[in-house]
């Protein structure tokens, strides 16, 4: 079942989501929500979806970066972004416990800011602790694009959109990003757009 993705301006996207208790995580209701979020993310398509994006203010997100999503990027772009496939998984009550001071900048979009993207600086690496869909504790060390996805989704759980972190003059339609900037280095885009 595909859920409705709420768009920027909806108040649920600007509030801190509530943590889930172990029994809530294991409940049929939460397990059903996870399944519907997975279907919604894949249908969109997207690489991550946080519960607030479907109108539910809970500390829960689903993530998956499928190989087929990499088809539009050439090998050099994939290497520059350190983008590799990420298997489907669920993060509940996540916390970033370590993040590199070094940042990288790339265009970033969001299913709740449909049709737009901007250059967003993110930490190159992060360590995240969370509970999985079985309420088991997990810890992941992520780098590159996976680290970006985690930071983006965890921001959603705190009421933060990428537009709060973007370089405002790089805000663009996805159509223009694809048409004008797809093959340009980010440094060149920043120089041209200021």
- How does pLDDT run across 155-181, given as a tens digit for each residue? 999 999 999 999 999 999 999 999 999
Identify the CA nearest to 118 among candidates 15, 193, 68.
Answer: 193
Identify the CA nearest to 9 among candidates 98, 92, 110.
Answer: 110
Which residue among 64, 153, 175, 178 is the active-site one? Answer: 153
- Among the four given CATH numbers 1.10.530.10, 3.40.640.10, 1.25.40.10, 3.90.45.10, the one describing domain 11-193: 3.90.45.10
- Strand segments (E) across the chain: 48-50, 60-65, 86-99, 103-109, 116-123, 125-131, 137-143, 172-173
Active site (annotated) includes residue 153? yes
Q: How many CB atoms lie under 10 A from the CB of residue 86?
A: 20
The pLDDT value recorded for residue 73 is 87
The pLDDT value recorded for residue 194 is 75
Give the list of residues 6+ apart from residue 181 with CB closer than 8 angstroms, or none.
107, 172, 189
Average pLDDT over the chain, rounded to whole? 96
**Every domain of the chain and the residues it spans:** 11-193
| pLDDT digits 0-9 by tens, 20-67 | 999 999 999 999 999 999 999 999 999 999 999 999 999 999 999 999
How far is the C-alpha of 139 from the C-alpha of 182, rounded, in Å? Answer: 33
The pLDDT value recorded for residue 74 is 87
């Amino acid at each position: 079942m595909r859920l409705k993705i709420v768009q920027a301006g909806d108040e649920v996207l600007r509030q801190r989501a509530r943590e889930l208790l172990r029994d809530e995580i294991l409940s049929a209701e939460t397990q059903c929500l996870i399944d519907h979020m997975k279907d919604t993310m894949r249908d969109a398509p997207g690489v991550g979806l946080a519960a607030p994006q479907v109108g539910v203010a809970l500390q829960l997100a689903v993530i998956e970066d499928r190989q087929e999503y990499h088809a539009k990027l050439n090998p050099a772009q994939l290497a520059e972004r350190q983008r590799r496939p990420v298997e489907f998984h669920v993060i509940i009550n996540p916390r970033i416990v370590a993040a590199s001071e070094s940042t990288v900048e790339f265009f970033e979009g969001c299913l709740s800011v449909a049709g737009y993207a901007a250059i967003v600086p993110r930490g190159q690496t992060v360590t995240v602790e969370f509970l999985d869909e079985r309420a088991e504790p997990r810890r992941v060390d992520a780098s590159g694009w996976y680290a970006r996805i985690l930071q983006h989704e965890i921001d959603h759980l705190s009421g933060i959109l990428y537009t709060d972190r973007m370089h405002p003059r790089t805000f663009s339609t996805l159509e223009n990003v694809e048409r004008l900037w797809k093959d340009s280095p980010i440094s060149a885009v920043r120089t041209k757009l200021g």
